[in-house]
Structure 1
Amino acid sequence: MIRIGLTGWGDHPAIHSLEKSTRNKLATYASHFPTVEVDSAFYSIISPHQYSKWIEQTPSTFTFVVKAFQAFTGHDRKTYTRKEIKEMIKNYKDGIQPLIDKNQLQCLLFQFPPWFDASKAHVQKLKFLRQQFEGYPLALEFRNRSWFEGNLEHETLRFMYDYQWIHSICDEPQAGKGSVPIINTTTHPDQAIIRFHGRNVHGWNNNGQSNWRSVRFLYNYSENELKEWCTRIHHLEKEVNDITILFNNNSGGDAYHNAKQLIDLLDIEYDQLNPKQIGLFD
């Protein structure tokens, strides 16, 4: 199955302007898409009660890609003892348990920062995290090109395969060391994940601009660019049965429209979404 969705459900004005809904934003979102990325899990460890509430607002077939907490990936630039990290991991796993119980966890997404380069210390960290999350579906996304340079590309993909990391295939600006190329290869026997970040080369890296975060993902994919991806997606379908595609190019609100375009180009019809809410005068 190919599931296409967006990163987050609240910051997509097109969805909520199309539907004058009295429902909460996730329930409305789930009437358009069958999957979503939970970005808020990156900023704090979310309680099982909150995940249970989200489950109640979505169909039983709806899936969640949950981002790893920033302390696990090093984004917060803090130093922790192994004991502290293990305690946070326990709390994180307790939080997502309702998703596992309802079979609505697609995967956990470990997106590492640009300074997480290819080094023995970082490989050891990946092994440690994989061990702590044994049995969980884990996706791995790099933001440092060194993992895929020269002979390391093969070794990196082999490492992902051996440790059953799902390779997060990225479409992003080719903007130097802090970006990775499109490598349309699966490393997991069951599923693949693709994330569209846009191709805003000038906005990708933080060069001291005050509005960097608001323009970083400013990009609207053309139909031809999405058609190129249709070919890649059909190739991936030969390797795995389950493909999750997430659009993150929402600085200008384009993620919704590009996701809908790709759904149309792939001729997909989702029949197990939340029902659309009918307005008073419809």
Structure 2
Amino acid sequence: MPVHVGTSGWQYRDWSGILYPPDLPQRLWLEAYAEHFRTVESNNAFYRLPSPEIFARWRERTPPGFVMAVKASRYLTHIKRLRDPKEPVHRLMEHAASLGERLGPILLQLPPTLQADAGALDACLACFPAGTRIAVEPRHASWWTAAVRGVLSERGAALCWADRGSRPVTPLWRTADWGYVRFHEGRADPAPRYGRTALRSWAERIADAWPADADVFAYFNNDPGGAAVVNAHSFERLTAGGDP
């Protein structure tokens, strides 16, 4: 199964000496990252949408076959709260298009206070160009309804399977022929790492849910102390059939 494993972001200063040589300048970190992982989730766009030129430079700095998922702007998800999505979606995709073949899924992480609105979600998803892979990570319990599941399935959008505390915090719905998983915080020592048992459980869930030829993207967001780096390496070995 082609499980694409990486981390959420790559520009963390405490990764110097863990993933990056201590003397490596930050401007070369993306190239070094791409030597270890074949995908990354860029969260830069959530805070401030990079220009098309920056996306193009990221494309040039990464090797063929590298995939960059993009977390959608908080303007769309947290400020507009999915309302009037046409312009912010168009702007996001216009900029991200400069990644070319490196462009992977778009992540819509919804605010924890945003309650379910299946109609607004459907209208937002409809604004994306055909063929765009969209993952949606709701964080309010009101979203776990048949109506929301139906919208995701009809639009071919993946419900993001999220983990916090080494357990799923979302339903394990398969709403698309591809998958998206995010690991926020494990319970192993040192915190916030994930232990072997938790990682094995997730590898089994993924293998049970998708056929061998499905694309599944898995990103570790437990960045403090390089925990995401350690866990992503282990999970990549696990999903490839090796020893973590």
Q: TM-score per shorter chain, which class? A: 0.7 to 0.9
SS in 1 for 2:159: strand
CA contact (8 A) 1:186 1:239 kept: no
Q: Give a deviation string over 1:34-88, Cα, whole Å, max 9, x none.
A: 0001101001222111011001111110001101111111x24x68984xx5333
In the superposition, relative to structure 1, how do residues 171 and 50 fare at CA in structure 2: closer, same or farther (>3 Å)? same
Q: 1:130 aligns with which of 125, 129, 133?
A: 125
Who is 1:197 aligned against?
184
CA contact (8 A) 2:43 2:71 kept: yes
Cα distance in 1 for residues equivalent to 2:148 and 2:240: 34
Who is 1:48 aligned against?
52
Cα distance in 2 for residues equivalent to 1:160 and 1:81: 17
Q: 2:198 aligns with which of 225, 232, 240?
A: 225
Cα distance in 2 for residues equivalent to 1:242 and 1:35: 12
Deviation at 1:4, TM superposition (A): 0.3
RMSD after superposition: 2.5
CA contact (8 A) 2:20 2:32 kept: yes
CA contact (8 A) 1:144 1:180 kept: no
1:105-120 equivalences under 5 Å are 105-118=103-116
SS in 2 for 1:264: helix
Query: Which ranges of structure 1 fall in alignment gaps of 5 or more residues?
Result: 201-217, 270-282
In the superposition, relative to structure 1, how do residues 268 and 37 fare at CA in structure 2: closer, same or farther (>3 Å)? farther
Who is 2:91 aligned against?
91
Deviation at 1:186, TM superposition (A): 1.8
Q: Give a deviation string over 1:91-110, Cα, whole Å, max 9, x none.
A: 222101122xx322111100
Who is 1:205 aligned against?
none
- TM-score normalised by length of structure 1: 0.75
Amino acid in structure 1 at the alignment position of 2:204:
T
Cα distance in 1 for residues equivalent to 2:203 and 2:3: 11
- TM-score normalised by length of structure 2: 0.86
Who is 1:275 aligned against?
none
Cα distance in 1 for residues equivalent to 2:55 and 2:207: 33
- The percent identity for this pair of structures is 27
Residues matched between the structures, number: 233
SS in 2 for 1:254: helix
